[in-house]
Amino acid sequence: MTKLTTVKLRAPYLILIGDLGDPTYAKTGLGIVDWRPDLVAGQLRFAGSQVDMGVPDMSVAEAASAGVKSLLIGVAPIGGVVPDSWWDSIEEAARAGLDIVCGLHFKLADFPRLVAAAEASGARLIDVRNPPPNLPVGTGIKRSGKRVLMVGTDCAIGKKYSALALSQAMQEAGMKSTFRATGQTGIMLAGEGLPIDAVVADFISGAAELISPDNDEDHWDVIEGQGSLFHPGYSGVSLGLLHGSQPDALVLCHDATRKVISGWEHYDLPSIRDAIDQHLLMGSRTNPDIRCVGISVNTSKLPADKRIEYLATLSEETGLPCVDPLIDGCGAIVDHIKQLYGEK
Amino acid sequence: MTKLTTVKLRAPYLILIGDLGDPTYAKTGLGIVDWRPDLVAGQLRFAGSQVDMGVPDMSVAEAASAGVKSLLIGVAPIGGVVPDSWWDSIEEAARAGLDIVCGLHFKLADFPRLVAAAEASGARLIDVRNPPPNLPVGTGIKRSGKRVLMVGTDCAIGKKYSALALSQAMQEAGMKSTFRATGQTGIMLAGEGLPIDAVVADFISGAAELISPDNDEDHWDVIEGQGSLFHPGYSGVSLGLLHGSQPDALVLCHDATRKVISGWEHYDLPSIRDAIDQHLLMGSRTNPDIRCVGISVNTSKLPADKRIEYLATLSEETGLPCVDPLIDGCGAIVDHIKQLYGEK
C-alpha cells in the first residue's frame, strides 16, 4: 500500500511572472519571496512585464541547469487563466524536467501537450487545489508534539498570515516550529500540505491528521486555519480541521471593524467570547487540554489612535495577549505560550 | 446555467437480486420493499436464488414493456462486487432504456460495454455514492417550511430508520412530511437525495440546503442524519449538514447500551445532555429557534424488563418523549411536535 502523504513540492522554485502588468495579480509569488526566500531561485519574466519580485531573472534553460526543481505559476491573472503566450514556456519547463505547480482553477492535466512533455521527462504536474487520492478517515488517536491552530470569527480574516508570523516568531524565540499549510497558497509557501476544503467530506479530519504528523514533544506545528466554525457555508471544513488537528492551543483571528460575515451579510460575526468558548468546547472532544493562547487582530481599518486602546481593552476582557501581527508581531503570543507550556 | 438539483431516480424500480443465497446481503432491496413498496414493480432473480422479497418476478424484457424505469442493484454481495454472470442482465436493462442505479463501491462508468449500451438507449448510469457536479456553497438563507433532523451520539445508531419511521408517523397523523435522504441507501428509498459525506468539503452545507428546499409552511422535511458531531472522523459532515439543514427540530438517536464510539473505542459516547446541548448550540447559528423534540433509542440489547424503565428515566431527565421506534413507533414524538408547533 502506498504511504499516505500530503502534497509535497520540490524546491528550489522558478516563479513564472510572464508579462504581468499589475503586481496585485502576483500575490502568490510575492508572498513566497516574502516568507520563504530560501525556496526561490528566480523569476521567469517576458518582455513587457512590469512586475519585479527582486529575485534573479532566469530562463527555463538557466533554471534547469542551476538545479531548479519546479516552475510555480505564481500569478492569478484576471479570469483565472494563463495567457496563451505563456504555454510554450510552461511546456519547455516540463520538458526540461521541472515540476509544474499551479493553484488556478483549471487542471494542468487537461493540456495534452503539457502532459506529453511531463511524461517524457518524468516531471510532475501538480494542481495544488487537488488533494491526493486515498486520504484516510480521521482516527482521533493522539499524536506526539504540540500544535497551535489558527481559527477565525470569519473566513479571509488573516489566519494564514497569523500562522506564518507566529511560526516565524517562535523560531526567532529559539523554539522548534513548522508552518503547516491547509490551503493552496499556504502549500506553495510551505512546500507541502493539503487543500483541506477540497477533500471529500468524509476525509476532512483524516487529512488534518496527515497535515500535522507525530513530532518531537517540544516541536510546535503552527496550523493555517480554514473557514470558520460560525460560517454558514464552510463550518464543516473548520470543525473537521479542528478535530483532526487536535490542537493544544488556538489563536483566534479577527478583524477589528468587521461586523458581519463577509459575503454572507445576513449573519453577524460571533462575539469574541462566544468564538473562544465554542471553539474550546468543540476542540476539547479530541484534545481535552485545548486552550486559547491569544488573539490576532487585523486593525488596519481602525484609526491609529484607537488601535492600542482596542487591543488593550480586548486583552483585559479576555485575559489573553492581543496583537496585530503586521504591526506588533507575535512576540506577546509566543511569550504567553512559553509561560504556559514551559520554555520548551 | 443548469439548475442545481439532487440525484433523482426514476420509478418504478426492478430490483436485481440475481442468484443471491443469503438475504443478509439484500438489505437495500428489502428495505425499499419494506418502506416504499409503491416504488417497486418487481424483482429480477436467477436460477438458484434463495431470496424472495415477496414482489413479482420479472425479466428485463417484461419490466421494459411494463414501463419500469430503473434497474436497482439492490444487493451488497461479499467483496462489494457484482458476480460476472449478472452483467449480461444489467447490460440488457441498460440497452432496454432502464436507468441502472448502484450504490456499491465500483463505478458503473468503468464498464465500457455498459456505457455503450446506456448511450445507445439514453439510459442513465447512476452511482448513488457520487454527488452531481457543480454543487453550491451554503448560503445560510432561511427557507420556508419546517425541518426535523436526526442527529446521533454516534454513527450507525439508527438515524435513517428513525427518520423513515418519524416521517411515516407524521403522515399517518395527517401531517405533510417528506423523508429526505443524505446517504446512498436513503437515496434509493426516497428516490432522490444527495450522498452528503461524498461531496467536497466546501459544499457540505450547500448540498444540505439542496436536500430540503423551500416548501409549504406546514410541511415537514424529515432529514436523515449522517455521522455525529462527536465523531473524530465524521464531525465535519455532521456540522455542515446541521448548518445547511437549518432544522427547527432535532431528534437525538442513541443506542441504550453503547458506551464508546463504534470502531473508535478510545472515544466515549457523549452524555445525552451534552449531545442535546451542543447540537442546539451549534444548530442555533443557522436557526435560532432550533429545539430538541425527542430521543429515538435502540433498546434491542436491553433486557425486556429494563426497556420501559430506561425510556421512562430518560424521558424524566430530559423532559422529552423517548421511544424505541421499532417497538413504540414515533407517535409520542409526533404528538410532541404537534403540541409545540400547532396541529399544522
Interface with A, mutate which of B196, B199, B237 (most A CBs under 10 A): B237
With a cut of 60, say whether residue B58 has pLDDT above it. Answer: yes
Overall pTM > 0.80: yes
What pLDDT is stored for residue A21 in this prediction? 80
Q: How far apart are CA B323 and CA B332, in angstroms?
A: 7
pLDDT at residue number B20: 82
pLDDT, tens digit (0-9, with 9 covering 90-100), for A238-296:
999 999 999 999 999 999 999 999 999 999 999 999 999 999 999 999 999 999 999 99
User: pLDDT tier at B57 (50, 70, 90 boundaries)?
Assistant: very high
User: Per-residue pLDDT for B1 more than 50?
Assistant: no
**From B138, which residue of chain A is nearest by alpha-carbon distance?**
A233
Cβ–Cβ contact B206 with A under 8 A: yes
Task: Answer yes or no: is pLDDT of B314 > 70.
Answer: yes
Chain A, residues 137-156, CB within 8 A of chain B, namely: 137-141
Average pLDDT over every residue of A55-76? 94
> How far does A227 lie from chain B, in Å, by closest CA?
9
**Residue of chain B whose alpha carbon sits nearest to that of A227:** B202
| Band of pLDDT at residue A60, cut at 50, 70 and 90 | very high
The rounded distance, in Å, linking the Cα atoms of B77 and B26 is 8
**Cβ atoms A123, A100 nearer than 8 A:** yes
- Chain B residues near residue A206 by CB distance under 8 angstroms: 233
| Out of A140, A234, A236, closest to residue B232 by CB | A140
Mutating which of B234, B274, B277, B280 best tests the A interface, going by the most A Cβ atoms within 10 A? B234
A156: left (phi over 0), alpha (psi -120 to 50) or beta: left
Contact A195, A183 (CB under 8 A): yes
Task: Please report, for residues B178, B179, B246, the alpha-carbon distance to residue B189 in angstroms, rounded to integers and kept in the order given.
Answer: 12, 9, 23
User: What confidence tens digit (pLDDT) does each residue in A66-77 have?
Assistant: 999 999 997 877
Model confidence at A339, in pLDDT bands (50, 70, 90)?
Answer: very high
Is residue A99 over pLDDT 70? yes
3-class SS letters over chain A = CCCCCCEECCCCEEEEEECCCCHHHHHHHHHHHHHCHHHEEEEEECCCCCCCCCCCECCHHHHHHCCCCEEEECCCCHHHCCCHHHHHHHHHHHHCCCEEEECCCCCHHHCHHHHHHHHHHCCCEEECCCCCCCCCCCCCCCCCCEEEEEEECCCCCCHHHHHHHHHHHHHHCCCEEEEEECCHHHHHHHCEECCHHHCEHHHHHHHHHHHCCCCCCCEEEEECCCCCCCCCCCHHHHHHHHHHHCCCEEEEEEECCCCEECCEEEEECCCHHHHHHHHHHHHCCCCCCCEEEEEEEECCCCCHHHHHHHHHHHHHHHCCCEECHHHHCCHHHHHHHHHHHCCC
What pLDDT digit, counting tens, does each position of B99-112 carry?
999 988 789 999 99
Is residue A340 pLDDT above 90, yes or no? Answer: yes
pLDDT band, very low/low/confident/very high, at A96 (cuts 50, 70, 90)? very high
The predicted-structure confidence for B122-174, as pLDDT tens digits, reads as follows 999 999 999 998 899 999 999 999 999 999 999 999 999 999 999 999 999 99
Residues 6+ apart with CB under 8 A from A226: A155, A159, A182, A183, A196, A197, A234, A237, A238, A241
Task: Output the average pLDDT for chain B.
Answer: 94
Q: For the purposes of burial, counting CB atoms within 10 Å of the CB of A221, is it exposed (0-12), middle (13-18) or buried (19 or more)?
A: buried
Q: In what order do the strands lie in the sheet with B176-180?
A: B176-180, B219-223, B146-152, B249-255, B291-298, B322-323
Instruction: Please compute the mean of the pLDDT values over residues B34-48 and round it to a whole number.
Output: 94
Q: Which residues of A touch B239 (CB under 8 A)?
A: 229, 235-236, 239
Residue B3 — pLDDT band, cuts 50, 70, 90?
low
| Structure confidence at residue B82 (pLDDT) | 86
Task: Please answer yes or no on whether A201 and B237 come within 8 Å at the CB atom.
Answer: yes
Q: What is the ipTM of this complex?
A: 0.93
Q: Which residue of A143, A204, A209, A290 to mutate against B (max B Cβ within 10 Å)?
A: A204
Whole-angstrom distance, CA of residue B139 vs CA of residue B339: 31
Q: Within an 8 Å CB–CB cutoff, is residue A290 touching chain B?
A: no
CA A56 to chain centroid, in Å, comes to: 25
Q: Does B50 touch chain A if contact means CB atoms closer than 8 Å? A: no
Q: Which residue has the higher pLDDT, B201 or A85?
A: B201
Angle between helix A272-283 and A304-318 (nearest 10):
40
C-alpha cell at A158: 488573516
Contacts of B157 (CB under 8 A, 6+ apart): B228, B253, B254, B255, B258, B298
The pLDDT value recorded for residue A1 is 38
Tell me what percent of the residues of chain A surpass a pLDDT of 90.
85
- Which residue in chain A is spatially nearest to B140 when comparing CA positions? A232
Check whether A162 has a pLDDT greater than 60. Answer: yes
CB contact under 8 Å between A237 and B232, yes or no, is no
Q: Is A260 touching B (CB cutoff 8 A)?
A: no
Q: Which of A137, A235, A281 sits opposite B233 (nearest CB)?
A: A137
pLDDT of residue B125: 96
Of B255, B269, B256, B324, the closest CA to residue B294 belongs to B324
Q: Indicate yes or no: CB of A233 within 8 angstroms of CB of B202.
A: yes
Given an 8 Å threshold on Cβ–Cβ distance, is A139 in contact with B232? Answer: yes
Cis peptide, bond prior to residue A12, ω within 30 of zero = yes
B244-256, pLDDT tens digit by residue?
Answer: 999 999 999 999 9
Of B235, B244, B267, nearest to A239 by CB-CB distance is B235
B54 exposure class (CB count in 10 Å sphere: 0-12, 13-18, 19+) = exposed
Confidence bin at B2 (pLDDT 50/70/90) = very low
Q: What average pLDDT does the segment B262-291 reach? A: 97
Give all domains of chain B, ordered by start, each with its CATH number.
7-127 (3.40.50.720), 146-341 (3.40.50.300)
pLDDT at A344 over 70: no
* pLDDT tens track for A5-39: 788 999 999 999 998 888 888 888 999 999 999 99
